[in-house]
Structure 1
Amino acid sequence: MHTIRLFSFLILLGVAGAGCEKDSQAQVPPVTIESPLTQRIADSTDIMARVFSDTIFQISEGITETDIHYLSREGYSMHVFILEIDMNNPSLKLEAASPYDNTAYALQTVPEMAKYLQSPEARVVAGINADFFSTAGEPRGIYIKNGQIVKTTWANDRSRSFLGVRKDGKLFIGDRTDFVNMQDEFEDALGGGPMLVKDNEMLPQTDLSIEPRTGIGMNDNGKLYFAVVDGRSFYYSNGITIARLGEMLRACGATIAINVDGGGSSTFMIRHPLAEVWQVRNRPSDGTNRAVGNAWMIVSKP
């Protein structure tokens, strides 16, 4: 009898607590959305049930960062970091980064790669992890650096796409067939995973897993997008499917987008405009910055 009464009391207490929580949430004023990217995602997708916080600031001329803490439609806490880069800015260049800035296979964190790429003539202002890789640092997809074709093979079906910088400076996202036909045209190129968006249309995906994710997208207007969604942390951020990642990049303005390595590899780094240090803005799920096989860097050249 006492056990039944105690159980009933706990149920009532839980209901009362839930009611108080609902009342408390109802009294929280809505967040004023500051970033146009947050507004686009909210207006054109059903990804976000509620925005808890929305921050936008300028990293350097032509580069803005948007940080969003939101509640997903599925009821989970989420954090996403997005860079919008205006590649029409003549001082900004996209460069492939590798461990110790050479072509030998190895592993290094994104901030460490930035140190080796930095020079008086090239200031690294942002970076993101790139291709999937083996434990020895061999990329799963293709690999071109400084005009040198290092690797032209693909490890498995997961490696399906690539991002390249052509010798005329223009960016290109393509698939395996595109690479075979165009490989001599690239100054830099790194492989990627599934194509998420093509010709402004979402592509079907078979991978339904929910993980930390990194994505890259662009459009014909010269905008390049880096996005990292954190995951594997229930109270902070739970991760996302690659299809949802594609929806997010398309909402931002990307008409073509790819998935690159995620999980513990997902790294979103900037050169902080106030502290003049390379700062990893997201929370890698390993609890520390993972050493990866390669990365993409935004370099400012006078």
Structure 2
Amino acid sequence: MRFFKKHFFTLLCSAALLSASTYTLLKTFVLSEAISTVQATTSNSSTSSTSSSPTSSTTSTSTGEVTQTDTSYKDDNISVTITTGQTDDTTYYVADIQVSDASYLKTALANDTYGTNVTATTSSIAASNNAIFAINGDYYGANSTGYVIKNGVLYRDSSRNSDYEDLVVYSDGSFGTVNESDTTAQELLDSGVVQTFAFGPTLVKNGEIAVSTSEEVGQAMADNPRTAIGIIEESDGSLHYIVIVSDGRSDESAGLTLYEMAELMQSYGVTTAYNLDGGGSSTMYFNGQVVNKPTTNGTTIKERAVSDIVYIGY
């Protein structure tokens, strides 16, 4: 009887520990928890097409004349041009973006909701916000720490334990990098920060490559699909951004190392560049279509649902 009771309580404790561990894993990676909702920042403009061409159109909107093709968009405030590049074994896509005002660089949350594991595809979040151009963000919802400031709103002020810096975007559209251990989220907000991205690492800093050839983001593979964003500091103060998304993990496209992405970014003249969430999350969206080929297993072209995007729009 004593033997039975002893082992019964041992099994009971083991089951309780297993249940607690399972719940923790589910809460971290699977179960969604909505904490707060946000109001979409988009504004709709009426348009009237003046061209019937399927690949080129000019519309008249409150933004002035809009001219767009399969690979470009231009109005009085926003210019986006998409080009495709190729290394020896990898296809990548470059967005050259110029905006007249910092307010056109925005972020959006899946389902307009801040929370844990609240996700949607980059293209669906972009479409619901009338984005002209979009990429996946830093997937803040997969973590319980790390500062979260989106569109000037502070959502999370618990710092992450990481040597990697955060990318911060100020209200004037300029970029900076900070270590969360050196500041508070409220101090960032007070200094004019309107967006934070807690992924990393910083790829280019002050025009110089900031990663080593062996650096990686906790991955077993060095070559991966990647998403990165950078800024070119123009002498006239205009806002000029470069975004690069690479395909990877497939027979057609191996992917890039962090150093290779940093080299690419530097070749476009950026002064600061930052690595966002990659792998199956890496997605570029433009004019209503997914530009790249998102994949996680090398065989299925499919978007991974993410918690947030970076986009250009009204």
Give the TM-score taking structure 1 as reference length: 0.67
* 1:190 to partner: Cα distance: 2.9
**Are 2:312 and 1:298 aligned?**
yes
User: 1:241 and 1:114, CA in 2 relative to 1: closer, same or farther beyond 3 A?
Assistant: same
CA distance in 1, matches of 2:81, 2:247: 19
CA distance in 1, matches of 2:74, 2:143: 32
Structure 2, unaligned stretches of length 5 or more?
1-69, 217-221
Which residue of structure 1 aligns with residue 72 of structure 2? 58
Within 5 A, what are the aligned runs for 1:129-278?
129-133=136-140, 137-138=142-143, 141-157=146-162, 159-166=164-171, 169-176=172-179, 180=184, 181-184=187-190, 185-205=192-212, 206-208=214-216, 209-221=222-234, 222-234=239-251, 236-271=252-287, 278=288
Which residue of structure 2 aligns with residue 14 of structure 1? none
Within 5 A, what are the aligned runs for 1:92-103?
93-103=104-114
1:98/1:295 contact within 8 Å kept: yes
Structure 1, unaligned stretches of length 5 or more?
1-55, 119-123, 272-277
* 1:155 to partner: Cα distance: 3.7
CA distance in 1, matches of 2:80, 2:306: 24
* 1:111 to partner: Cα distance: 1.4
CA distance in 2, matches of 1:104, 1:116: 18
User: 1:285 aligns to what SS in structure 2?
Assistant: coil
CA distance in 1, matches of 2:270, 2:102: 22
Give the TM-score taking structure 2 as reference length: 0.65
CA distance in 2, matches of 1:243, 1:139: 28
CA distance in 1, matches of 2:211, 2:150: 31
User: 1:219 aligns to what SS in structure 2?
Assistant: strand
CA distance in 2, matches of 1:104, 1:262: 20
User: 1:107 aligns to what SS in structure 2?
Assistant: coil
Q: Deviations over 1:109-168 (max 9, x none)?
A: 1111123323xxxxx10000111445xx447632112332111334442652223242xx
Determine what percentage of the aligned residue pairs are the same residue. Answer: 26
Match of 1:114 among 115, 118, 126: 126
Code of the residue aligned with 2:132 in structure 1: it is V
What is the root-mean-square deviation of aligned Cα atoms in Å? 2.5
CA distance in 2, matches of 1:156, 1:230: 29
Which residue of structure 1 aligns with residue 291 of structure 2? 281
User: 1:139 and 1:207, CA in 2 relative to 1: closer, same or farther beyond 3 A?
Assistant: farther
User: 1:255 and 1:149, CA in 2 relative to 1: closer, same or farther beyond 3 A?
Assistant: same
CA distance in 2, matches of 1:154, 1:80: 33
CA distance in 1, matches of 2:127, 2:304: 16
* 1:92 to partner: Cα distance: 6.7
Code of the residue aligned with 2:225 in structure 1: it is P
1:246/1:257 contact within 8 Å kept: yes
CA distance in 2, matches of 1:179, 1:108: 31
